[in-house]
Amino acid sequence: MRYSTPLSYNPIDVARITEVLNRYEGIHHNQIVTDFESAIGKVTGSIHAVALNSGTAAIHLALKVLGIGVGDYVLAPSFTYIATINPILYLGAHPVLIDSETTTWNMDPHLVEEALEVLKKEGKRPKAMVVVHTYGMPSQLNQLLAIARKEGISVVEDAAESLGSTYQRKMVGTFGDVGIFSFNNNKVVTTYGGGILLTERPELAEKARFLATQSRENLPYYHHSEVGYNYAMGPLNAAQGLSQLIDLQDNVTKRRLIFERYRIKLEGYVHGQQCELPDMYSNRWFSCFLFKDEATKGKIANVLGSRGIETRPLWNPMHRQPLLINARYFGSREAELLFNRGLCLPSGHNLTEDKIDEIVQVITQ
Ligand SMILES: Cc1ncc(COP(=O)(O)O)c(C=O)c1O
């Protein structure tokens, strides 16, 4: 079904992309990708950036360059999109799924500690932790990073949804050993398909770039000693990214205002939302709310849908997925409560105040 009010939609701005492309006439197209990498590096304060063709590819390479392989254990939230977990499976590693805390809905640091203790008793030591800032809301990074440091665990930040979010005034995606963003169609900045890998460590960036381009060695002929991937970002995608990146803060401000308008107008009708703790600033990629119960949530989704207004249920937790039936899970089913009672409401930065008010009216009638 095509919705007249989609969840989050970036219309193509032909004039803007054309303007960017015109600037590169006569210049090798690889320069567009390099410039996009520099622009993201500048915006995020990151030293090395490798532009790729999806956020999923970026997570795959992030784990790979950190040495994750067959049989390794990787901690990750249960309350996330499958693209956080699939790359762990690509590598033959075992995801260890951690439940959410109730404030940010991200991975609960206490449960991470509990999981590590239990696994230690079994002689198992996770090698990496994937930290997700879900719906743009920063995770409790101080606590998670302290645990990782103490235990010698590598950290991948899956910041796919959170370009423009900050923690202690620093862009999320720049705290882990490697961070990634997605630029798929519904993001705050889109390339209409794409991702990027960020790191401060030159050797990791170099290795990721090598793997992303079929692991072709630097010789005058084709020479390959290890499996590679075709993961590099294309120049047209990078041009689109450059054309929209200047709007980043504007788009974040608009999304935060959308969330605030819903929050204020839905007071009394909703039973919870993601909250920023001190030092957190969310890009509010999606405005998500909990309703009284599952039936109320379903009814609201149906009525809005019948009016052409798209909603999405919150993530169906990973520990409930048939694919992950054998994965370890630590928690008390908070993520299940979020799934049962929560909805993402239209959140695109182009959403008008009138449309928000119409959505609120449908919910509260
Ligand atoms: C949390 C999370 N991780 C990873 C991804 C994967 O990004 P992509 O769609 O660019 O592969 C997404 C995509 O939206 C996501 O939401």
Sequence spans of domains, the chain = 14-245, 248-364
Ligand 1 pocket, 158 CB below 6 A?
yes
CA distance 122 to 73: 12
Rounded to 5°, the CA angle 278-260-307 comes to 140
The answer for residues whose C-beta is within 8 angstroms of residue 116's C-beta and 6 or more apart is 75, 126, 147, 151
Ligand 1 pocket, 161 CB below 6 A?
yes
For each successive 10 residues of the chain (365 residues), what is the average pLDDT? 89 96 97 98 96 98 98 98 98 98 98 98 98 98 98 98 98 98 97 98 98 96 97 98 97 98 97 97 98 97 97 98 97 96 97 97 94
The pTM of the full predicted model, rounded to 2 decimals, is 0.98
Q: Choose one of 59, 105, 184 to mutate for the ligand 1 pocket test, by most ligand atoms within 8 angstroms of C-beta.
A: 184
- Closest to 86 in 3D by CA, of 149, 164, 162, 160: 160
- In our burial notation (b when 16+ CB lie closer than 10 A, e otherwise), range 322-349 reads eebeebbbbbebbbbbbbbbbbbbbbbb
Ligand 1 pocket, 243 CB below 6 A?
no
Phi, psi (degrees; rounded to nearest 5) at 198: -120, 140
Rounded to 5°, the CA angle 81-34-225 comes to 75
Q: Would you state the structure tokens that stand for residue 139, as one six-digit string?
A: 């995770």
Q: Do domains 14-245 and 248-364 have the same CATH topology?
A: no
- How far away, in angstroms, is 336 Cα from ligand 1 center? 20
Query: What does the radius of gyration of the chain's CA atoms come to, in whole angstroms?
Result: 21
For helices 30-44 and 235-245, the axis angle rounded to 10 degrees is: 40
* Closest atom of ligand 1 relative to the 161 alpha carbon: 16
- Closest to 279 in 3D by CA, of 170, 364, 159: 170
CATH topology for the 14-245 domain: Aspartate Aminotransferase; domain 2 (3.40.640)
The answer for residues whose C-beta is within 8 angstroms of residue 308's C-beta and 6 or more apart is 3, 4, 5
Ligand 1 pocket, 58 CB below 6 A?
no
CATH topology for the 248-364 domain: Aspartate Aminotransferase, domain 1 (3.90.1150)
- Closest to 8 in 3D by CA, of 361, 340, 349: 349
Ligand 1 pocket, 162 CB below 6 A?
no
pLDDT at position 99 is: 98
Q: Choose one of 161, 180, 229, 318 to mutate for the ligand 1 pocket test, by most ligand atoms within 8 angstroms of C-beta.
A: 161
pLDDT at position 87 is: 98
- Closest to 127 in 3D by CA, of 66, 215, 81, 170: 66
- How far away, in angstroms, is 123 Cα from ligand 1 center? 32
